[in-house]
Structure 1
Amino acid sequence: MGTWDTGHFDNDTAADFSGDVDELPPGERPGLIREQFLAVLDEGEEYLDSDLAVTAVAAAALVAAQCPGGDPVATPYGPDEPLPTLPLDLRPLAIRALDRILGPDSELAELWEESEDAGPWREGVRRLREILAAADQGCAIVER
Protein backbone atom coordinates (compact mmCIF):
# COMPACT_ATOMS: atom_id res chain seq x y z
CA MET A 1 0.00 0.00 0.00
CA GLY A 2 1.43 3.36 -1.00
CA THR A 3 0.72 5.85 1.77
CA TRP A 4 1.75 9.49 1.65
CA ASP A 5 0.05 11.01 4.71
CA THR A 6 -2.25 10.23 7.64
CA GLY A 7 -5.52 11.35 6.02
CA HIS A 8 -8.33 8.89 5.42
CA PHE A 9 -7.78 8.96 1.65
CA ASP A 10 -4.00 9.44 1.63
CA ASN A 11 -3.12 6.00 0.30
CA ASP A 12 -3.48 4.12 -2.97
CA THR A 13 -6.19 1.74 -1.77
CA ALA A 14 -8.48 4.48 -0.44
CA ALA A 15 -7.92 6.59 -3.55
CA ASP A 16 -8.89 3.59 -5.70
CA PHE A 17 -11.99 3.12 -3.54
CA SER A 18 -12.93 6.75 -4.27
CA GLY A 19 -12.74 5.99 -7.97
CA ASP A 20 -14.97 2.95 -7.45
CA VAL A 21 -17.52 5.15 -5.67
CA ASP A 22 -17.47 7.67 -8.52
CA GLU A 23 -17.99 4.98 -11.17
CA LEU A 24 -21.26 3.77 -9.65
CA PRO A 25 -24.66 5.33 -10.24
CA PRO A 26 -25.64 7.46 -7.22
CA GLY A 27 -28.20 4.93 -5.99
CA GLU A 28 -25.57 2.19 -5.76
CA ARG A 29 -22.97 4.20 -3.82
CA PRO A 30 -24.47 3.55 -0.36
CA GLY A 31 -24.30 -0.19 -1.05
CA LEU A 32 -20.60 -0.01 -1.85
CA ILE A 33 -19.97 1.93 1.34
CA ARG A 34 -21.93 -0.64 3.35
CA GLU A 35 -19.86 -3.45 1.78
CA GLN A 36 -16.66 -1.92 3.17
CA PHE A 37 -17.96 -2.07 6.74
CA LEU A 38 -19.35 -5.57 6.34
CA ALA A 39 -16.06 -6.82 4.89
CA VAL A 40 -14.29 -5.70 8.07
CA LEU A 41 -16.97 -7.05 10.37
CA ASP A 42 -17.18 -10.38 8.54
CA GLU A 43 -13.55 -11.04 9.43
CA GLY A 44 -14.65 -11.74 13.00
CA GLU A 45 -11.66 -12.48 15.20
CA GLU A 46 -9.37 -13.19 12.24
CA TYR A 47 -6.38 -10.96 11.57
CA LEU A 48 -7.78 -7.96 9.70
CA ASP A 49 -6.09 -7.21 6.38
CA SER A 50 -4.97 -3.61 5.97
CA ASP A 51 -6.64 -3.17 2.56
CA LEU A 52 -10.04 -4.01 4.05
CA ALA A 53 -9.39 -1.62 6.91
CA VAL A 54 -8.22 1.24 4.69
CA THR A 55 -11.34 1.21 2.54
CA ALA A 56 -13.57 0.97 5.62
CA VAL A 57 -11.87 4.03 7.14
CA ALA A 58 -12.40 5.93 3.88
CA ALA A 59 -16.04 4.80 3.79
CA ALA A 60 -16.47 5.93 7.41
CA ALA A 61 -15.12 9.35 6.45
CA LEU A 62 -17.81 9.60 3.76
CA VAL A 63 -20.54 8.72 6.25
CA ALA A 64 -19.14 11.05 8.93
CA ALA A 65 -19.02 13.91 6.43
CA GLN A 66 -22.82 13.84 6.37
CA CYS A 67 -23.14 13.93 10.16
CA PRO A 68 -23.54 17.09 12.24
CA GLY A 69 -20.02 18.28 13.03
CA GLY A 70 -18.55 16.06 10.33
CA ASP A 71 -15.69 17.27 8.20
CA PRO A 72 -16.26 17.45 4.46
CA VAL A 73 -14.07 15.20 2.35
CA ALA A 74 -11.99 17.93 0.78
CA THR A 75 -9.07 15.97 -0.58
CA PRO A 76 -8.34 15.40 -4.26
CA TYR A 77 -8.13 11.69 -3.44
CA GLY A 78 -11.74 11.45 -2.26
CA PRO A 79 -14.71 10.92 -4.56
CA ASP A 80 -15.28 13.64 -7.13
CA GLU A 81 -18.98 12.92 -7.56
CA PRO A 82 -21.46 13.99 -4.86
CA LEU A 83 -22.91 11.29 -2.68
CA PRO A 84 -26.62 10.90 -2.13
CA THR A 85 -27.86 11.22 1.43
CA LEU A 86 -26.56 8.07 3.07
CA PRO A 87 -28.79 5.78 5.14
CA LEU A 88 -28.57 6.36 8.88
CA ASP A 89 -27.99 2.66 9.52
CA LEU A 90 -24.49 3.04 8.06
CA ARG A 91 -23.43 4.98 11.16
CA PRO A 92 -23.46 2.09 13.66
CA LEU A 93 -21.83 -0.19 11.07
CA ALA A 94 -19.08 2.36 10.58
CA ILE A 95 -18.55 2.64 14.34
CA ARG A 96 -18.23 -1.12 14.73
CA ALA A 97 -15.83 -1.31 11.79
CA LEU A 98 -13.65 1.48 13.21
CA ASP A 99 -13.58 -0.24 16.60
CA ARG A 100 -12.37 -3.40 14.89
CA ILE A 101 -9.73 -1.47 12.92
CA LEU A 102 -8.39 0.23 16.06
CA GLY A 103 -8.43 -2.99 18.05
CA PRO A 104 -6.07 -5.94 18.30
CA ASP A 105 -5.35 -8.14 15.29
CA SER A 106 -5.60 -5.26 12.83
CA GLU A 107 -2.79 -5.07 10.29
CA LEU A 108 -3.50 -1.41 9.56
CA ALA A 109 -3.24 -0.41 13.22
CA GLU A 110 -0.03 -2.42 13.53
CA LEU A 111 1.48 -0.80 10.44
CA TRP A 112 0.69 2.64 11.81
CA GLU A 113 2.11 1.77 15.23
CA GLU A 114 5.43 1.13 13.48
CA SER A 115 5.32 4.69 12.11
CA GLU A 116 6.15 8.01 13.73
CA ASP A 117 2.72 9.19 12.52
CA ALA A 118 0.75 6.65 14.55
CA GLY A 119 -0.67 9.31 16.87
CA PRO A 120 -2.14 11.57 14.18
CA TRP A 121 -3.55 8.60 12.24
CA ARG A 122 -5.17 7.07 15.33
CA GLU A 123 -6.54 10.47 16.39
CA GLY A 124 -8.08 10.97 12.94
CA VAL A 125 -9.84 7.61 13.10
CA ARG A 126 -11.01 8.27 16.66
CA ARG A 127 -12.43 11.62 15.54
CA LEU A 128 -14.44 9.86 12.83
CA ARG A 129 -15.75 7.47 15.45
CA GLU A 130 -16.72 10.31 17.80
CA ILE A 131 -18.60 12.16 15.06
CA LEU A 132 -20.43 9.00 14.02
CA ALA A 133 -21.27 8.05 17.61
CA ALA A 134 -22.59 11.53 18.45
CA ALA A 135 -24.73 11.58 15.32
CA ASP A 136 -25.97 8.04 15.88
CA GLN A 137 -26.86 8.88 19.49
CA GLY A 138 -28.74 11.95 18.28
CA CYS A 139 -30.76 9.81 15.88
CA ALA A 140 -31.58 7.33 18.63
CA ILE A 141 -32.85 10.14 20.84
CA VAL A 142 -34.97 11.64 18.04
CA GLU A 143 -36.49 8.27 17.15
CA ARG A 144 -37.70 7.52 20.69
Structure 2
Amino acid sequence: MGAWGAGSFDNDTAMDFVADIEALDDIRGAFRASNEKGHALIVEEIDSDLSCQIIVAAECVAAMRGHRSKDMPRELAKRVHGFGKPSLELYELARNNVSAVMSRSELCDLWAESDSGDWNRAMTELMERLGKPKEKVKKPRKKKATPNPSPCMFCDKPMGDGAFHQLDVTISDDEISSMRMGGWIHLQCLNAALHPKHMIQSWPFDDELLDWIVARSDAEREAREKGD
Protein backbone atom coordinates (compact mmCIF):
# COMPACT_ATOMS: atom_id res chain seq x y z
CA MET A 1 0.00 0.00 0.00
CA GLY A 2 1.64 3.26 -1.14
CA ALA A 3 -0.35 6.04 0.53
CA TRP A 4 -1.08 5.25 4.17
CA GLY A 5 -3.38 7.48 6.17
CA ALA A 6 -6.15 7.19 8.73
CA GLY A 7 -8.94 8.72 6.65
CA SER A 8 -11.38 6.72 4.53
CA PHE A 9 -9.80 7.96 1.32
CA ASP A 10 -6.18 8.24 2.48
CA ASN A 11 -4.73 5.11 0.85
CA ASP A 12 -4.16 3.85 -2.68
CA THR A 13 -6.49 0.85 -2.35
CA ALA A 14 -9.37 3.11 -1.35
CA MET A 15 -8.76 5.53 -4.21
CA ASP A 16 -8.48 2.69 -6.73
CA PHE A 17 -11.88 1.47 -5.55
CA VAL A 18 -13.30 5.01 -5.76
CA ALA A 19 -12.50 4.98 -9.48
CA ASP A 20 -14.26 1.61 -9.89
CA ILE A 21 -17.57 2.64 -8.28
CA GLU A 22 -20.07 3.19 -11.08
CA ALA A 23 -23.22 1.56 -9.72
CA LEU A 24 -24.86 0.33 -6.53
CA ASP A 25 -23.73 -3.21 -7.32
CA ASP A 26 -20.11 -2.08 -6.89
CA ILE A 27 -20.89 -0.88 -3.36
CA ARG A 28 -22.90 -3.99 -2.54
CA GLY A 29 -20.13 -6.19 -3.93
CA ALA A 30 -17.60 -4.85 -1.40
CA PHE A 31 -19.94 -5.76 1.44
CA ARG A 32 -20.87 -9.17 0.03
CA ALA A 33 -17.20 -10.08 -0.45
CA SER A 34 -16.75 -10.27 3.33
CA ASN A 35 -19.45 -12.89 3.75
CA GLU A 36 -21.32 -14.98 1.22
CA LYS A 37 -24.47 -14.84 3.37
CA GLY A 38 -24.41 -11.06 3.42
CA HIS A 39 -26.67 -10.34 6.37
CA ALA A 40 -25.20 -13.03 8.66
CA LEU A 41 -22.57 -12.34 11.30
CA ILE A 42 -19.13 -11.85 9.76
CA VAL A 43 -16.78 -14.16 11.63
CA GLU A 44 -13.72 -14.42 9.37
CA GLU A 45 -10.93 -11.82 9.49
CA ILE A 46 -11.21 -9.33 6.62
CA ASP A 47 -8.00 -8.61 4.69
CA SER A 48 -6.63 -5.06 4.56
CA ASP A 49 -7.47 -4.31 0.91
CA LEU A 50 -11.08 -5.42 1.29
CA SER A 51 -11.30 -3.46 4.56
CA CYS A 52 -10.30 -0.28 2.72
CA GLN A 53 -12.95 -0.97 0.07
CA ILE A 54 -15.60 -1.63 2.72
CA ILE A 55 -14.83 1.69 4.38
CA VAL A 56 -15.26 3.53 1.07
CA ALA A 57 -18.49 1.64 0.37
CA ALA A 58 -19.79 2.56 3.81
CA GLU A 59 -18.90 6.20 3.13
CA CYS A 60 -21.06 5.95 0.01
CA VAL A 61 -24.00 4.62 2.03
CA ALA A 62 -23.56 7.36 4.63
CA ALA A 63 -23.57 9.94 1.82
CA MET A 64 -26.69 8.41 0.30
CA ARG A 65 -28.39 8.79 3.68
CA GLY A 66 -27.45 12.49 3.77
CA HIS A 67 -24.28 12.35 5.89
CA ARG A 68 -21.41 12.68 3.42
CA SER A 69 -17.81 12.98 4.54
CA LYS A 70 -16.19 16.32 3.71
CA ASP A 71 -13.23 14.29 2.42
CA MET A 72 -15.20 12.33 -0.19
CA PRO A 73 -13.77 13.00 -3.66
CA ARG A 74 -16.02 15.34 -5.65
CA GLU A 75 -16.50 12.97 -8.60
CA LEU A 76 -17.52 10.12 -6.31
CA ALA A 77 -19.94 12.41 -4.48
CA LYS A 78 -21.61 13.26 -7.80
CA ARG A 79 -21.94 9.60 -8.75
CA VAL A 80 -23.28 8.60 -5.34
CA HIS A 81 -25.84 11.41 -5.44
CA GLY A 82 -27.35 9.75 -8.50
CA PHE A 83 -27.82 6.42 -6.70
CA GLY A 84 -30.68 7.75 -4.56
CA LYS A 85 -31.44 6.58 -1.02
CA PRO A 86 -29.98 3.20 0.04
CA SER A 87 -32.22 0.22 0.73
CA LEU A 88 -32.46 -1.09 4.28
CA GLU A 89 -30.64 -4.21 3.11
CA LEU A 90 -27.69 -2.12 1.93
CA TYR A 91 -27.75 -0.07 5.12
CA GLU A 92 -27.62 -3.22 7.26
CA LEU A 93 -24.73 -4.57 5.19
CA ALA A 94 -22.83 -1.32 5.68
CA ARG A 95 -23.28 -1.36 9.45
CA ASN A 96 -22.32 -5.04 9.78
CA ASN A 97 -19.23 -4.64 7.60
CA VAL A 98 -17.94 -1.50 9.33
CA SER A 99 -18.43 -3.22 12.68
CA ALA A 100 -16.39 -6.19 11.43
CA VAL A 101 -13.58 -3.97 10.11
CA MET A 102 -13.40 -2.25 13.49
CA SER A 103 -13.18 -5.50 15.45
CA ARG A 104 -11.65 -8.24 13.29
CA SER A 105 -9.71 -7.13 10.25
CA GLU A 106 -6.13 -7.18 9.03
CA LEU A 107 -6.34 -3.40 8.69
CA CYS A 108 -7.14 -3.14 12.41
CA ASP A 109 -4.11 -5.32 13.16
CA LEU A 110 -1.86 -3.16 10.99
CA TRP A 111 -2.93 0.01 12.76
CA ALA A 112 -2.41 -1.70 16.12
CA GLU A 113 1.28 -1.97 15.24
CA SER A 114 1.60 1.81 15.03
CA ASP A 115 -0.11 4.84 16.55
CA SER A 116 -3.74 3.94 15.84
CA GLY A 117 -5.34 6.96 17.52
CA ASP A 118 -6.16 8.81 14.29
CA TRP A 119 -7.56 5.66 12.65
CA ASN A 120 -9.64 4.82 15.71
CA ARG A 121 -11.05 8.35 15.69
CA ALA A 122 -11.77 8.21 11.95
CA MET A 123 -13.59 4.87 12.23
CA THR A 124 -15.63 6.09 15.19
CA GLU A 125 -16.60 9.21 13.26
CA LEU A 126 -17.69 7.05 10.30
CA MET A 127 -19.72 4.82 12.64
CA GLU A 128 -21.43 7.86 14.15
CA ARG A 129 -22.26 9.38 10.76
CA LEU A 130 -23.47 6.09 9.33
CA GLY A 131 -25.71 5.60 12.35
CA LYS A 132 -27.43 8.97 12.03
CA PRO A 133 -31.09 8.97 10.96
CA LYS A 134 -31.68 9.20 7.23
CA GLU A 135 -32.18 12.79 6.13
CA LYS A 136 -35.44 13.60 4.36
CA VAL A 137 -36.08 16.20 1.71
CA LYS A 138 -38.55 17.95 3.98
CA LYS A 139 -38.04 17.53 7.68
CA PRO A 140 -40.39 18.70 10.40
CA ARG A 141 -38.87 21.30 12.64
CA LYS A 142 -37.23 19.61 15.59
CA LYS A 143 -36.23 20.96 18.93
CA LYS A 144 -32.55 21.70 19.14
CA ALA A 145 -30.59 18.99 20.90
CA THR A 146 -29.89 19.69 24.55
CA PRO A 147 -26.43 21.25 24.87
CA ASN A 148 -23.92 19.73 27.26
CA PRO A 149 -21.29 22.34 28.21
CA SER A 150 -19.39 19.89 30.44
CA PRO A 151 -15.80 19.19 29.32
CA CYS A 152 -14.64 15.87 27.88
CA MET A 153 -12.16 14.08 30.16
CA PHE A 154 -9.76 13.60 27.23
CA CYS A 155 -9.79 16.81 25.17
CA ASP A 156 -11.27 19.17 27.82
CA LYS A 157 -13.57 20.68 25.18
CA PRO A 158 -17.36 21.06 25.73
CA MET A 159 -19.26 17.88 24.94
CA GLY A 160 -21.64 19.67 22.56
CA ASP A 161 -25.28 19.27 21.57
CA GLY A 162 -26.89 15.95 22.43
CA ALA A 163 -23.58 14.46 23.62
CA PHE A 164 -23.93 12.59 26.90
CA HIS A 165 -21.44 9.71 26.93
CA GLN A 166 -19.86 9.09 30.33
CA LEU A 167 -16.94 6.99 31.55
CA ASP A 168 -16.95 5.30 34.95
CA VAL A 169 -13.61 3.91 36.19
CA THR A 170 -12.90 1.87 39.32
CA ILE A 171 -9.25 1.53 40.41
CA SER A 172 -8.62 -1.24 42.95
CA ASP A 173 -5.35 -1.69 44.83
CA ASP A 174 -6.60 -4.85 46.48
CA GLU A 175 -9.85 -6.62 47.35
CA ILE A 176 -10.74 -4.02 49.99
CA SER A 177 -9.65 -0.57 48.92
CA SER A 178 -10.70 1.02 45.66
CA MET A 179 -11.23 4.42 44.11
CA ARG A 180 -13.99 5.29 41.69
CA MET A 181 -14.28 8.26 39.38
CA GLY A 182 -16.05 9.20 36.19
CA GLY A 183 -16.74 11.98 33.78
CA TRP A 184 -17.96 13.01 30.36
CA ILE A 185 -16.20 11.69 27.25
CA HIS A 186 -16.45 12.08 23.50
CA LEU A 187 -16.62 8.57 22.08
CA GLN A 188 -14.09 9.54 19.41
CA CYS A 189 -11.66 10.73 22.10
CA LEU A 190 -12.08 7.55 24.13
CA ASN A 191 -11.62 5.25 21.14
CA ALA A 192 -8.58 7.22 19.98
CA ALA A 193 -6.90 6.28 23.28
CA LEU A 194 -7.76 2.56 23.06
CA HIS A 195 -6.14 -0.35 21.24
CA PRO A 196 -8.07 -0.57 17.95
CA LYS A 197 -9.41 -4.05 18.74
CA HIS A 198 -11.03 -2.67 21.88
CA MET A 199 -12.82 0.30 20.35
CA ILE A 200 -16.31 0.79 21.75
CA GLN A 201 -18.97 0.53 19.07
CA SER A 202 -22.12 2.48 19.85
CA TRP A 203 -24.59 1.82 17.05
CA PRO A 204 -27.93 3.58 17.58
CA PHE A 205 -31.18 1.68 17.21
CA ASP A 206 -32.87 2.41 13.90
CA ASP A 207 -36.60 1.68 14.14
CA GLU A 208 -37.04 1.35 10.38
CA LEU A 209 -34.09 -1.04 10.09
CA LEU A 210 -35.24 -3.06 13.11
CA ASP A 211 -38.76 -3.45 11.68
CA TRP A 212 -37.26 -4.61 8.38
CA ILE A 213 -35.00 -7.17 10.10
CA VAL A 214 -37.93 -8.56 12.11
CA ALA A 215 -40.09 -8.82 8.99
CA ARG A 216 -37.28 -10.59 7.12
CA SER A 217 -36.76 -13.04 10.00
CA ASP A 218 -40.49 -13.79 10.09
CA ALA A 219 -40.54 -14.43 6.34
CA GLU A 220 -37.50 -16.73 6.58
CA ARG A 221 -39.11 -18.67 9.45
CA GLU A 222 -42.36 -19.09 7.51
CA ALA A 223 -40.42 -20.29 4.48
CA ARG A 224 -38.59 -22.89 6.61
CA GLU A 225 -41.86 -24.08 8.16
CA LYS A 226 -43.46 -24.49 4.73
CA GLY A 227 -40.38 -26.39 3.59
CA ASP A 228 -40.78 -28.82 6.47
TM-score using structure 1 length: 0.77
Matched, 1:30 2:21: no
Of the candidates 50, 71, 74, which is equivalent to residue 74 of structure 1? 71
User: Which residue in the other structure is 1:113 paired with?
Assistant: 112
The runs of 4+ residues in structure 1 deviating greater than 4 Å are 75-78, 140-143
Instruction: Judge conservation of contact 1:48–1:101 (CA < 8 Å) in 2.
Output: yes
Deviation string, structure 1 residues 17-60 (Cα, Å, up to 9, x no partner): 01101xx3xxxx11110111111234943332111111000110
**Structure 1 unaligned spans of 5+:** none
User: Which residue in the other structure is 1:88 paired with?
Assistant: 87
Deviation string, structure 1 residues 47-106 (Cα, Å, up to 9, x no partner): 3211111100011011112334x23353448726422214232211111001111113x1
RCO comparison, higher one (Cα < 8 Å, 6+): 1
Offset of 1:135 from its aligned partner? 2.5
Instruction: Give the AA of the match of 1:20.
Output: D
Of the candidates 24, 33, 39, which is equivalent to residue 39 of structure 1? 33
Higher helix share: 1
TM-score using structure 2 length: 0.51
Q: How many residues align?
A: 134
**Structure 2 unaligned spans of 5+:** 135-205, 213-228
Q: 2 CA distance for matches of 1:139 and 1:45?
A: 26
**Identity between Structure 1 and Structure 2 (%):** 33
- Specify the structure having the higher radius of gyration (Cα): 2
Instruction: Give the AA of the match of 1:135.
Output: P
Higher strand share: 2
Q: 2 CA distance for matches of 1:103 and 1:72?
A: 22
Specify the SS of the correspondent of 1:127: helix
